[in-house]
Amino acid sequence: MSDHEYVPKSKFGKWFNDRLPLLTLASHLTDYPTPKNLNYWWTFGGILSFCLIIQIVTGLTLAMHYIAHADLAFESVEHIMRDVNYGWLIRYVHANGASMFFLAVYIHIFRSLFYGSYKSPREIIWIIGIIIYLLMMAAAFMGYVLPWGQMSFWGATVITNLFSAIPLVGEGIVNWLWGGYSVDNPTLTRFFTLHYLIPFLILGLVVLHIWALHIPGNNNPVGIDVKKPSKDTVPFHPYIVIKDAFALLMFMIVFAFFVFYSPNILGHADNYIEANPMVTPAHIVPEWYLLPFYAILRSVPDKLMGVVAMLSAILILAALPWLDTSKIRSAVFRPLYKQFYWILLADVLILGYVGAMPAEGLYLLIARVATAYYFIHFLMILPILGFKEKTIPLPLSITEPVLGGFPNAAIVKKRENLD
Amino acid sequence: MKNIFKISYLIILLLAGTSQVTAAEKVELLKTDWSFKGLFGKFDRGSLQRGYQVYTEVCASCHSMKYVSYRNLFEPGGPEFSEDQAKAIAANFEVTDGPNSDGEMFTRPAKLSDKFVMPFANVKAAQAANGGAYPPDMSVLAKARSGGVDYIYSVLLGYEDPPSGVTLEDGVYYNKYMYGNNIKMSEPLSDGLVEYSDGTIASKEQMAKDVTTFLMWTAEPHLEARHKMGFKAILYLIILTVLVYFSMKKIWSGIESEV
């Protein structure tokens, strides 16, 4: 929200802008004052926009050649891989793009957790983000079903069967979802339709996410409010644009390594076997980005409670702005929270690891402890920490710590004495 | 800048970690050097052509390859037979076509545009002829088994007598590397089973390596194009990243902040 009113220079521009203020919007996006101390963890927003666009463009192209039919889907994917010009490239970008999308979104979420970006006045941005994340999981899951390989089929069977845990109506809901009495052609066609729809819902939500962001402006590593515009901020263009471009290029190099040199490493070999309802794979595992939630699901002995736990694990995030009672945003000034943050990160990685392992013996025990800790972190540690923790005094402006990267303890001390 | 290294390091660590989780192996697979691995990996043409020979003389009597066409045999990046050779290969097979103008189905020699002719009419027929086990289609087999080419190579060479105490049913064989150690395919390869026209000695290992190379190509017919393009794409990205880095430094030089 720049203070000065934008006036187009040309007469036509003025005429047009009075009727549809697109030029004002462009000017706002160009001038948008951004804290100048943002670090590289802040570049993942731009990277995520890139991921979404890539998925939509490659997805549209794939949809031109893909056939959503239980008897033809697997073959049509092979047709794309073999006979469509650069079909292999488009499909590998799309398949690995999903993984890269999740990689970026996890970094984005954990950046937000570290710097308290979800706190007032940014709760709505955060909640929209959680909805986007949920839709991403739905889109990714349904996308994985489309090649109609063994893991597609059995993954779909396992996940849709979760709804049968709902008392009384569960079975009915599952049959309704399937469009029959097992995962079959009707399931495939509706998954394809929804897989096509969801990215555009995400796109709309991304617009809202950015709109909501542009009201208070970006949080920053110090986590204090900055005056906008001021000497603490830089205009979005060219400063942030070039920095985001640099980070995006680094990201694309990693992306390219996967696409060109190990395009199948993140997938499961069984998905190159055509779906066969008569043969169950030895281990049914979801894609890596869903593993932590899969571990939570399996760590509860009761099916219904397992589903409830898994859903709660995601939905609890939406309540985070109120569960975290601390007024201090950045973990830099919260010595205790910082420790718990790293423990939580380790906890989620452990959950991801045990999610890929068979649910038995030591793995199951670890999964249970890690699941319990996940909930304890959000439901007990965070609310209490806000009251108990002795935080480090905040600097008055971001210019103070910006030179050293981290707040200079001596300066902070001196200011404390002055106060 | 330090942060970027930290980020990239974390990304690679994370992805490497997750990929290892899924590739948990029990038995150490046999290893051989594959020419198609690595940044500049290419297929060995001779090996592909020999591999095709092994496939067609040994495997093809049971295993179909329904996604591969005869024309693929002369296309760049594959065995690269000449077009005439590929035509001659196709002409050895009979396909059912039709209906013709009289409404009759008829058979004709296969053309380049035809898919590899299948040994059995359907899965049921294949099972009936193979003691109930369906010999899997080989088009994408090299990608459809965890362990990939190393696994296939190992299974081909992994036949041994069952350890004492293990009794096998009729028509079941013991294989050190096969999942569950039981396999319904009898040992397919033996020394000198085929006669290579290029003079290569057809040892069991040689044939296993050749046919596995061939299977990698049928699973990834554009592997060479992918490697070639990957090198160019990544080189381009690295150069562009360096240029953008210095542009960024220049743009931010007036700002009292680190990038």
As for the ipTM of the complex, it is: 0.90
| Cβ contact A402–B11 (<8 Å) | no
Contact B143, A269 (CB under 8 A): yes
B22 and A78: CB-CB below 8 Å?
A: no
pLDDT tens digit string along A359-381?
899 999 999 999 999 999 999 99
> DSSP string spanning B114-163?
SBPPPSSSSHHHHHHHTTT------TTGGGSSTTHHHHHHHHHH-B-PPP
What integer is the mean pLDDT of B202-217? 97
Chain A interface includes B46 (CB < 8 A): no
Provide the pLDDT for residue B179: 85
The C-alpha atoms of residue A156 and residue A189 are separated, in whole angstroms, by 13
Q: Which residue has the higher pLDDT, A405 or A66?
A: A66
Mean pLDDT throughout A377-395? 95
Q: Report the C-alpha gap between A355 and A341 in whole angstroms.
A: 21
Give the global pTM: 0.92
> Which residues lie closer than 8 Å to A109 by C-beta, 6 or more apart?
A129, A133, A317
> In angstroms, rounded to a whole number, what is the distance separating the alpha carbons of residues B215 and B140?
7
Please indicate whether, in this complex, the C-beta atoms of A78 and B67 are within 8 angstroms of each other: yes
Residue B46 has pLDDT above 70, yes or no: yes
Contact A333, A400 (CB under 8 A): no
In chain B, residues with a C-beta closer than 8 Å to the C-beta of A78 are 67, 139-140
In terms of CA atoms, which chain B residue is nearest residue A77?
B67
What pLDDT score was predicted for residue B25?
A: 46
B111-136 core/surface letters (b: 16 or more CB in 10 A; e: else)? ebebbbbbbbeeeeebeeeeeeebbb
In sequence order, what DSSP letters do the residues of A288-346 get, joined into one string?
A: GGGHHHHHHHHHSSSHHHHHHHHHHHHHGGGGHHHH---S---GGG-HHHHHHHHHHHH
Rounded-to-integer distance, Cα A62 and Cα B175, Å: 40
Give the angle subtended at the CA of A246 by the CAs of A243 and A251, to the nearest 5°. 125
Q: Could you tell me how many residues make up chain A?
A: 419
Nearest CA in chain B to A288: B18
pLDDT greater at residue A89 or residue B170? A89
Residues from chain A that touch B136, judged by Cβ atoms under 8 A, are: 273
As a whole number of angstroms, the distance between CA A90 and CA A97 comes to 10
Scanning B64-83 for CB atoms below 8 A from A yields: 67-68, 72
Name the least confident of A20-34, A115-129, A239-253, B120-134: B120-134
Q: Is the peptide bond before A121 cis (omega within 30 degrees of 0)?
A: yes
CB A232 within 8 A of CB A35: yes
**Among the ranges given (A123-137, B121-135, B187-201), the one the predictor scored with the smallest mean pLDDT:** B121-135
- pLDDT at position A304 over 90: yes
Q: A238 to chain B nearest CA, in Å?
A: 8
pLDDT band at A309 (very low <50, low <70, confident <90, very high): very high
- For B42-119, where are the alpha helices, taking DSSP H only? 45-57, 83-91
For residues A99 and A266, the answer to whether their CB atoms sit within 8 Å is: yes
**Residue A270: pLDDT band by 50, 70, 90 thresholds?**
very high
Residue of chain B minimizing CA distance to A290: B18
Residue A189 has pLDDT above 90, yes or no: yes
Do A199 and A193 form a contact (C-beta atoms < 8 A)?
A: no
Are A288 and B252 within 8 A, CB to CB?
A: no
pLDDT (tens digit, 9 = 90+) per residue, A58-102?
Answer: 999 999 999 999 999 999 999 999 999 999 999 999 999 999 999
pLDDT band at A419 (very low <50, low <70, confident <90, very high): very low
Are the Cβ atoms of A82 and B237 closer than 8 angstroms?
Answer: no
Predicted local distance difference test score (pLDDT) of residue B5: 54
Which of A256, A261, A263 is closest, CB to CB, to B237? A256
Among candidates A378, A296, A388, which has minimal Cα distance to A341? Answer: A378
Q: Quick check: B19 pLDDT over 90? A: no
Report chain A residues whose CB lies below 8 A from the CB of B138: none
Separation between Cα atoms, residue A120 and residue A136, nearest integer Å: 25
Is the peptide bond prior to B99 cis by the omega test (within 30 degrees of 0)? yes
Amino acid B4: pLDDT: 54
Nearest residue, CB atoms, B226 vs list A79, A88, A352? A88
Residue B13: predicted pLDDT: 57
Identify the pLDDT of residue B109. Answer: 97
Per-residue pLDDT, A46: 97
Above 70 in pLDDT, residue A23?
Answer: yes
pLDDT in tens, B58-85: 999 999 999 999 999 999 999 999 999 9
**Separation in Å, CA of A97 to nearest CA in chain B:** 13
For testing contact with chain A, the best of B68, B140, B238 (most A CBs within 10 A): B140
Q: What average pLDDT does this structure show over A2-29? A: 90
The separation between the first and the last C-alpha atoms of chain A, rounded to the nearest angstrom, is 33
Taking 60 as the threshold, does the pLDDT of residue B18 lie above it? no
pLDDT of residue A403: 47
Show Cβ contacts of residue B119 under 8 Å, excluding neighbours closer than 6 positions.
Answer: B60, B61, B62, B63, B64, B126
Mean pLDDT for B31-57 is 96
CB-CB neighbors (< 8 A) of B21 in chain A: 288, 353, 356-357
B139–A contact, CB cutoff 8 A: yes
- Reported as a pLDDT band with limits 50, 70 and 90, residue A398 is confident
Q: What is the per-residue pLDDT for B2?
A: 54
User: Which residue of chain B has the CA closest to A292?
Assistant: B18
Task: Kindly state the percentage of chain A with pLDDT values over 70.
Answer: 94
% of chain B at pLDDT higher than 70: 90
Q: Which of A113-117, A189-193, A229-233, B247-251 has the lowest mean pLDDT?
A: A229-233
Instruction: Please compute, for residue B218, the number of CA atoms within 13 A of its CA located in the half-sphere on the CB side.
Output: 30
Q: Would you state the structure tokens that stand for residue B258, as one six-digit string?
A: 């680190």
Residue B42: pLDDT over 50 = yes
Interface mutation target, options B69, B226, B228, B235, chain A, most CBs of A under 10 Å: B226
- Distance from C-alpha of A159 to C-alpha of A177, rounded to nearest angstrom: 11
Residue B248 forms contact with A (CB below 8 Å) = yes
Which chain B residues touch A265 with a CB distance below 8 Å?
Answer: 19
Whole-number average pLDDT of chain A: 93
Cβ count within 10 A of residue B108: 12
The mean pLDDT value for A5-29 works out to: 95
- Gap between the Cα atoms of B93 and B109, Å rounded: 6
Mark yes or no for CB contact A246/B244 under 8 Å: yes
What pLDDT was estimated at residue B7?
Answer: 54
Distance from the B179 Cα atom to the nearest Cα atom in chain A, whole angstroms: 10
Strand, coil or helix: A8: coil
Q: Which residues partner with B183 through β-bridges?
A: B173
- Using the predicted structure, report yes or no on whether residue A266 has a pLDDT greater than 70: yes
CA dist B93 and B108 (Å) reads 8
Contacts of A263 in chain B (CB under 8 A): 226
Chain B residues with beta carbon closer than 8 angstroms to that of A272: 140, 143-144, 219
Q: Which residues of A touch B40 (CB under 8 A)?
A: none
> Cα angle at B28 between B25 and B30, to 5 degrees?
125
Provide φ and ψ at B40, rounded to 5°.
-110, 20
Average pLDDT, stretch A281-304?
Answer: 94
Contacts of A75 in chain B (CB under 8 A): 67
A381-400 b/e (C-beta count within 10 Å ≥ 16 → b): bbeebbeebebeebbebbbb
Q: Any CB–CB contact under 8 A between B168 and chain A?
A: no
Task: Please give the average per-residue pLDDT across B40-45, as a whole number.
Answer: 96
Interface test with B, best of A40, A246, A265, A284 (most B CBs within 10 A): A246
- The residue whose two tokens read 């993942």 is A44
Within 184-243 of B, beta carbons closer than 8 Å to A belong to: 219-222, 225-227, 229-231, 233-234, 237-238, 240-241
Distance, in angstroms, between B87 CA and closest chain A CA? 19
Q: How confident is the model at residue B258 (pLDDT cuts 50, 70, 90)?
A: confident
